[in-house]
Amino acid sequence: MALLLKVKNAQAFVEKFNQLLNDSNHENDSVDELETWIPLRYSNSFFYTHYSPNSVWNNKAWFRVCPDDSRIEFNKKKKTSYNLIFRLHGTKTDRMTKELYSFYHTRFLEFIMNNLVDEIRKVAVTVSWEDIEGLDRFMNDDWR
C-alpha cells in the first residue's frame, strides 16, 4: 500500500516537501489551528502523520518516504515506473482499516497536489485488502 510518484528529483522533492511542512506548521502561532502533516525523521527515513484539532485520525498511521525504490516498475506494458514512494504503516495500537487507509491516502495526496503539483509527472495509489491486513506486520517496529 503506497502512494507512488514520478518526480523530477526524488531527494529535492522530499526536501521541498519537508520545507513546506516546516513553513506551514510555523506560519500560525499554534499547530492546533490547522490540519497538517507532522514530519518525523528516524534514522535515514522521514515519516509523516496527520494532525488536526480534535481529529480521530491523529497519529493512527504513518507514511514512510522511500526514495530508494526507484527500481519499482508497474504496468510493464506501459513501462510506468516511479522514483518516489510513500508507504503507509499502521501503528502498534491501531489496526489498519479501509477507512484509515482511505483517509490517510486521500488527505496526503490532496496536500501534495495542492502544494507541489508542478513537481509531479505521474501519480499512482496501490491498494489491496491483503496489503491492508499485511500492514500489521509492522506493529512491532521500533520507530513508533
Q: What is the pTM of this model?
A: 0.76
42 inside domain: yes
Name, of 23-37, 42-56, 103-117, the range with top average pLDDT: 103-117
72 inside domain: yes
71 inside domain: yes
Angle CA(79)–CA(46)–CA(20) in degrees, nearest 5?
90
What strand order describes the sheet that includes 2-7?
Answer: 36-42, 45-51, 61-66, 84-90, 2-7, 120-126
Query: For the residues 124-139, what does the mean pLDDT come to?
Result: 58
Residue 96, pLDDT score: 78
Query: For the residues 6-17, what does the mean pLDDT come to?
Result: 90
Per the structure, the count of domains in the chain is 1
Residue 116, pLDDT score: 93
Domain membership of residue 76 as a residue range = 2-27+34-138
Q: What is the pLDDT of residues 71-89, one digit of tens each?
A: 455 555 556 667 888 988 8
